[in-house]
Amino acid sequence: VLAASDAHDHITLHGSSGGDARVQHVPKSVIGQILRQRMRGVLAQAGEQVAASGVGHVIGARLVLTGGSCQLLGLADFAAGELDRPVRIGFPPVLPGLPGGMAGASFACLAGVVMASLESGGIGPVPMRSNGEERGYVGRVEQWLRESF
């Protein structure tokens, strides 16, 4: 979403190039153009992946955006226009023990995968080492989930 003032409002960027620290003042409109182009590319790839997967008819017409970048102002409307489908921002279901900081769209996909795995019985006992320590990636994820929730 661009505002008329974006061409006049500037964002100050601090960075270094070749060891030479410099400050740049960039119009918001330039940042908006960069973001639109990047998101257009990401959404095109997502659309191609859905088409190539052969499950487009299963997922229905509506798409749900999750993750931190889905919180960009106006992204759902932009995505709907790019993909010619209704789009909404996904939020995680209410999970007991879920910290408040994880109750936003940034963690919706993770919460949904955990819920689906629990409902389908996909998460089961993890073999233990002789010292009682869980092993493997799944074991570490399960330990993290137990400690976090």
Residuewise pLDDT in 10s, the chain (149 residues): 566 677 778 888 887 666 667 888 888 888 889 989 999 999 999 888 878 888 777 777 778 888 888 888 889 999 999 888 888 888 877 777 777 777 788 888 877 777 777 776 665 554 555 555 545 667 777 777 778 77
SS3 134: strand
Task: Give me 67's structure tokens.
Answer: 């993750």
How many residues are recorded in the chain? Answer: 149
Report DSSP letters for 67-97, one per residue.
SGGGGSTTHHHHHHHHHTS-EEE--PPP-TT
Q: How far is Cα 79 from Cα 44, in angstroms, rounded to an integer?
A: 10
Q: What is the pTM of this model?
A: 0.61
pLDDT in tens, 75-97: 999 999 988 888 888 887 777 77
* pLDDT attached to residue 57: 73
